[in-house]
Amino acid sequence: METLLTRLGASGVRITAQRRIIAECLDGANQHLTADEILGAARTSLPEIGRATVYKALAEFVDSGTVREVQFGEGPKRFDPNAHIDHHHLVCNRCEQVWDLDATACEVKPVYDSGFVLSHAEISLFGQCAACAETAIG
Ligand SMILES: [Zn+2]
Ligand SMILES: [Zn+2]
């Protein structure tokens, strides 16, 4: 299976041993970690890894177009390893978890008289996940 690491390599990002670990922490479906969460995860396998190393790697991953920086509402910036898949997001207001939603499941086809040419649509849908909705009072 193609991994984030493969995609990073293919897009010309220099892969070091440290970056391999950062990419592995970042990879996966429905993953939208903050830089500090990625740093914490990376430190479980590489305790000596520095904050600057992680932040610099993330910036390069984003510059390469392989990782997308996303932000939901007022929340912190998060990193999405699935920039290659056109997708929207379901955001739970209570537990703050984020799920990917295939863009083809709710296709947006705006036709603008202004001649606006759409490159991609990025939509965040806010609400409550099934688990939170179930435990909600009232
Ligand atoms: Zn929830
Ligand atoms: Zn996503």
Per-residue model confidence as pLDDT tens digits over 58-106: 999 999 999 999 999 888 999 999 999 889 999 999 998 999 998 776 6
**Do 125 and 60 share a domain, yes or no?**
no
* Burial classification of residue 42, based on how many CB atoms lie within 10 Å of its CB (0-12 exposed, 13-18 middle, 19 or more buried): buried
Distance between Cα 115 and ligand 1 center (Å): 39
CATH number at residue 31: 1.10.10.10
Separation between Cα atoms, residue 15 and residue 21, nearest integer Å: 10
Q: Which residues contact 123 (CB under 8 A, 6 or more apart)?
A: 88, 89, 106, 108
Give the count of domains, the chain.
Answer: 2
Q: Which ligand is nearest to the CA of 132?
A: 1
Q: Which residues place a Cβ less than 5 A from the ion ligand 2?
A: 80, 100
**Do 94 and 62 share a domain, yes or no?**
no
Distance between Cα 47 and ligand 2 center (Å): 27
116-137 residue pLDDT tens: 777 777 789 999 999 999 997 6
Full domain range(s) for residue 17: 4-80
Residue 31 CA, distance from chain mean position = 6
Is residue 12 over pLDDT 80? yes
Structural contact between residues 91 and 124, judged by C-beta atoms closer than 8 angstroms: yes
Distance between Cα 129 and ligand 1 center (Å): 4
**Do 13 and 63 share a domain, yes or no?**
yes
Other CB atoms within 10 Å distance of the CB of residue 35: 18
**Do 52 and 91 share a domain, yes or no?**
no
**Do 51 and 115 share a domain, yes or no?**
no
**Do 130 and 74 share a domain, yes or no?**
no
**Do 17 and 61 share a domain, yes or no?**
yes
31-55 residue pLDDT tens: 999 999 999 999 999 999 999 999 9
Distance between Cα 124 and ligand 1 center (Å): 15
